[in-house]
Chains A and B, each alone.
Chain A
Amino acid sequence: MGRYIVRRTLFAIPTLVVISLIIFAILDLAPGDPTSQLPLTIPAEIREQIRESLGLNDPFLVKWVKWMQLMFINEPLNAIDSIFGTCIGDCENRARIISWSSRSPALDTIWQRLPQTLWVLGIAFILGIVIAIPVGVISAYKQYSAFDNVGTFVTMVGYSVPVFFTGVLAILIFSVWLGWFPSFYTTTHVVDWTSWESIWFQIEQMIMPITVLSLFNAAALSRFTRASVLDNLNEDYVRTARSKGLRENKVVMTHVMRNSMIPVVTLIALQVPGIFAGAIITEQIFRINGLGQLLIVAIGQSDVPMVQTLTFMFAFLIVVFNLIADVTYGIMDPRIRYD
C-alpha cells in the first residue's frame, strides 16, 4: 500500500502540471482584457504598457512558468508566513497572483470566502450523508415496504427537482409568506459562541440552503447505499451469521454495513471536492457569496487570474481526493491489493 501511495502521488504531479497547462492555455486564448475596463481615451501605447506590466505580452510558456512559480512557490510561502508569522525570503515584496478586478491578491479573496463555503456546504454535505445512509440501509433492509417506497419517491423528487426551484420555493414559503428565515446570507456575521442569539442568527441564515442542498445530496447517496446494502444482504455470509444465532442488529450493523460502506465511502470521498466548487446555483440564490459565486463573477468580469487560480484549485482537490478515495477503498477492503 505504501508503494502504491507513493507511486500515485508521484504520478499526480505531472497530472497537475498538465492540468494547469490546459487551464492556462484555454483561459489565455479566451477574449477578455484587463485594459478593457479603462476609458477609451487612453491611447493604445499606454494600454500596451499596462499589458506589458501585467506580463500579458510574454510568450505563452514564459507566462505559464511565471504563473507556476507564483502558484507553487510564492503563494505557499505567503501562506506559511501568514499562518506561522514567519518571514521567509523577501516577504515584503513577494509577487503574488493579482486579481484584475479587485487588484488584490486572488488567494486572499479565496481564503476570505472559505468560511461560508465550508459552513454551509460542508454542513449540507455532512447532513446529506447523515440522512442518506440510514435511509438507504433501512430502505434496503425493508425492501418494498412503505418506508422504502416513500423513501424512493422522496429521493427521486429530491434528485430530479432542480435546486433553483426548491431554493426559490423555500424562500417563497419561509421568507416571503412566513417570514421565518432571512433570504440571504450575511457573510460578515461572526459567531459569538457564548451568545445564543449569535448562534441562532447563524443557524437561521443557514437552515434553508442547507436543507435544500442536503436533500439534493442525500438523494443520490441514499440510492447508492440502498443498492450496495441490497447486494450484501443476499450474500451467503449473512445467512451464515443469522444461522449462527447473531442478533439481527449485529448482523446488519457490523457485518453488512462494513461491506456495503466500501463503495459508499469511495463515492463520498469523490464528492468532497464538490463542496469547494460549491453549489454555484444555491450560492447565487441565497447570496452566500462563496467560492462558486466567486468563480462565476470572475468569469463574467474576465478576471483571468482569479479564474485560473480557482479552477486549478478545484482540479487539485479532485486529484487529491481521487487518491484518497482509492486509498480508503484499499484500506477498507482487505481483498484489494494494489502492489
Chain B
Amino acid sequence: MKRTRLLALLAVLAMLVAACGGGDGDGTTTTAGGDDGGVDATTTTSGSTEPTDPPSGGGAGEGGPLLLLQWQAPSQANALLSTGTKDLLASSLVLEPLAEFDPTGGITPVLVDEIPSQENGGISEDLTQITWVLSEGLVWSDGSPVTADDAVFTWEYCSEETTGCSTDAFQTVVSVEATDDRTVVVTFDGPQPYPFVPFVGYTNPIISRAQFADCVGAAAVGCSDQNFQPIGTGPYMVTELRPEDTVLYELNPNYRKAGEGKPFFGSIELKGGGDAEASARSVLEIGEADYAWNLQVAPEILGPMEGAGNGVVLAGFNSSVEHLNLNQTNPDGDPPSDYSDGTNPNPYFFENEVLATALSMAINRQEMVDIAYGPTGEPTCNIWPVTGQVSTNNDWCLTQDIEGANAMLDEAGYMDTDGDGVRETPDGLPLDFEVVTSTNAVRQSEQDLIAVYWEQIGVATSMRNEDAGLFFDGTAASDASIWKFFTDIQLFTNSSSGPDPQGYLQGWTCEQIPESTNSWGGGNTTKLCNEEFDALHTELSGTALDDPARNDMVIQLNDLIVSYAVIPLVNRASVSAFANDIQGVGDLNGWDSEYWNIEDWTRG
C-alpha cells in the first residue's frame, strides 16, 4: 500500500518536472579568447543610436552612475601593459592618446588642436618627421600640467623592452623629442606616408612621467598602484580596481571639457565576469545595466533578446576578417612547416590558384553568416574589406558554385581515381586536409559547414580545435600556434590595429615569415613569399597618402594574397548592446575604444 502511494506520487511529480523542462542554450555561447591574433578593433556602418546634443551649461556629473558590463574583466588599467582588449578599454576611460580614430577610420584630435599634415607643416617634406602640438592648458587629473616631456617619457617607457610594453607602435620610431613644453617631434627611420601610429588610438596613450618615472624596465612589475590607478587626462579617474572583477571610476574634475558639462555621468562601474550571453541578458532582457561589450552570441539567441525591447544591439565593422589560411609550406617537411628559403613548398597549396579558387567557390558564405553571425557579420572575398579601399575583383566568391568548382577541378586534373569520393592531385596525393581552429562554438559550426561544402567537391577534411590560449600563443612553447602552423589549413580572424592597411599588409611579406630561426616572430602565418608582392608593398610604403595610386596598390596586394594563400570568409563586426535610454553614442567605434566618446553619452 505504502509503496504504491509512493510510486504514484513520484509519477505525478516526474510528470511535472518533465513539463517544465527548460531549453538550455544551444551550446552556442562562444568563449573565444580575447585576441584573435590581432587587436579586436572594429568600426561600424550599420545601426546607431540617435546622437543628441549634450545638455548645455549643466554641471558635469549630474547624470549619476553608469554601469558597463565587460564580461572579460580587466586585469589592470595601464594600456601600455595590457594583456588584451579588456585592459585597453578600462584604460581608455582614463588615459588618452594625442589623437584617436573615429568610427569611419578617420583621425580626430584629442590632446592637440589639429592633426598634423603636410599642408600645415606638421609632417615634414620627406615624410620622416611628424610634429604634434599639444593644446594649451592641458592638465593631468591631479592638476599638474601635461607637457611634451610626458610624450617623450612614454616613448622611453616603451623603448625599454624589459618593461614589456604591449604596443609595437614605436617600432619604426628613431626618436621622440620635446622641442618646447607643448611640441612633440617624432622621427621615423624612413619615410612614413602614414605616420599616425605612435600616440594615436587607445593602444598608445601618453602617461605621466611624474607618476611612472620609477616604473620603467623590470620595475614595471612592482608598480601596481600606478598600473591600477593611472593619472590621465580622460573624463574619469579610477577610484578602485579589483583585478578580474570590477573597476570603479569617478569623474575627473580637471577634465578639459568640464566647462561643457561633460562627462554627463558622474561615476562608472565597469563590471566583469560571467559570459557574453549573461551580459546581453542583463542589458537587453532585464534592463539592469547600460552597456554590454563584445557579445559573441549566436544570432538565434541575441535576436530574441533584442526583441525584448530594453536595448539595442550595435555592430561595428572594420578590418576583422575570419579567413582560412592555406599553408604555403609543407607541414610534413623537415622541420615541419618551415619556409627554408622556399625549398619546402606545400604540395597542394603552394601558389596554386586553381585549387584555392575551387575551394573558395564551394563555400556558401551567406549561409555561414546567417547561421553563425546574423547581422554581426558580412560575407567577404577580401582580406582588406574596408570601404574605399576594397577590391571588387573577387566578388565571384559571394555566390556558391559547386558545379563550377567541380568543373574547375576536373579540368585541372584533380580526379578521383580510386572511387572513394576524394579527389587526388595529378601526382596522386588525396585532397584530405586537416583544418584547425580555436575551441569556440561559432568556429566549430563554421568548420561543420566547410566540411559539408567541400565534401561536395570531393575534398575530405578532418576538423580539429585547440584551446584558444594555445592556438594564439606566439611563443615557442605552444606547438598548436597559428605561427607554427603545423597543419594544412587554419581558421581564425585577423585584423589590423589601425585604419591604414600599409602596416597590416606588411604582415604578408617574405621577411615576416615566422620560423624557428626567428622564434616564430612574424605576422605572415600563411608563409607566403612572393617577390611581386614585396616589391609592390615597398612601393606602397613610399607613396603619399593622398596619391590615388595608393588605393590601387592596396587592392592589388589584397588580390595577390587571396589568389592562392588565403580564403576570406566573413567580415566580422564587434557587437555591443546599449540600453535604450543611453543617448549620444552615435556609431559603434570599431577602430578605437568603444568608449571613445563616453563624455558625450547621456541618459535621456
Contacts and interface: CB of A to CB of B under 8 A. Distances in A.
A40 B75 contact: no
A175 B227 CA distance: 36
Contact of A289 (B166, B273, B470): B273
Contacts of A283: 273
B162 A289 contact: no
Contacts of A27: none
A175 B286 contact: yes
A176 interface: yes
A244 interface: no
A102 B285 CA distance: 32
A53 B218 contact: yes
B343 interface: no
Given A98-B221, A103-B221, A289-B272, A184 B282 contact: yes
B228 interface: yes
Contacts of B399: none
B477 A32 contact: yes
A38 B285 contact: no
Contacts of B248: 188
Interface in A69-117: 98-99, 101-105, 108-109, 112-113
A40 B224 contact: no
Interface in A150-180: 150, 153, 157, 165, 168-169, 171-172, 175-176, 179
A284 interface: yes
A243 interface: no
Interface stretch (B5-13, B177-185, B442-450): B5-13
Contacts of A15: none
Contacts of B288: 175, 182-184
A33 interface: yes
A287 B274 contact: yes
A150 B285 CA distance: 35
Interface in A266-306: 283-289, 293-294, 297-298, 300-302
Contacts of A14: none
B478 interface: yes
A284 B278 CA distance: 10
B75 A284 contact: no
A31 interface: yes
A112 B519 CA distance: 39
Contact of A50 (B162, B274, B473): B162
B84 to A, nearest CB: 8
B9 A149 contact: yes
Given A99-B243, A113-B245, A37 B83 contact: yes
Contacts, number: 171
A187 interface: yes
Contacts of B470: 31
Contacts of B473: 31-33, 36, 302
B244 A294 contact: yes
A255 interface: no
Contacts of B514: 40
Given A109-B244, A188-B242, A288-B273, A42 B161 contact: yes
Interface in A10-65: 31-33, 35-44, 46-47, 49-50, 53
A144 interface: yes
Interface of B: 2, 6, 9-10, 13, 17, 22, 24, 33, 73, 75-76, 81, 83-84, 161-162, 164, 166-168, 171, 218, 220-224, 227-228, 240, 242-246, 248, 269, 271-275, 278, 281-282, 285-286, 288, 469-470, 473-475, 477-478, 483, 514, 518-523
Which 8 residue pairs of A and B lie closest in terms of their CB atoms, listed nearest first? A104-B224, A102-B243, A287-B273, A44-B519, A287-B274, A102-B75, A39-B168, A41-B168
28 contacts: A31-B473, A31-B477, A32-B473, A36-B478, A40-B523, A43-B161, A43-B519, A44-B521, A47-B475, A102-B227, A103-B75, A103-B221, A103-B224, A104-B227, A104-B228, A104-B243, A149-B6, A165-B24, A176-B285, A184-B282, A184-B288, A188-B269, A286-B274, A287-B272, A289-B246, A293-B273, A297-B73, A298-B244
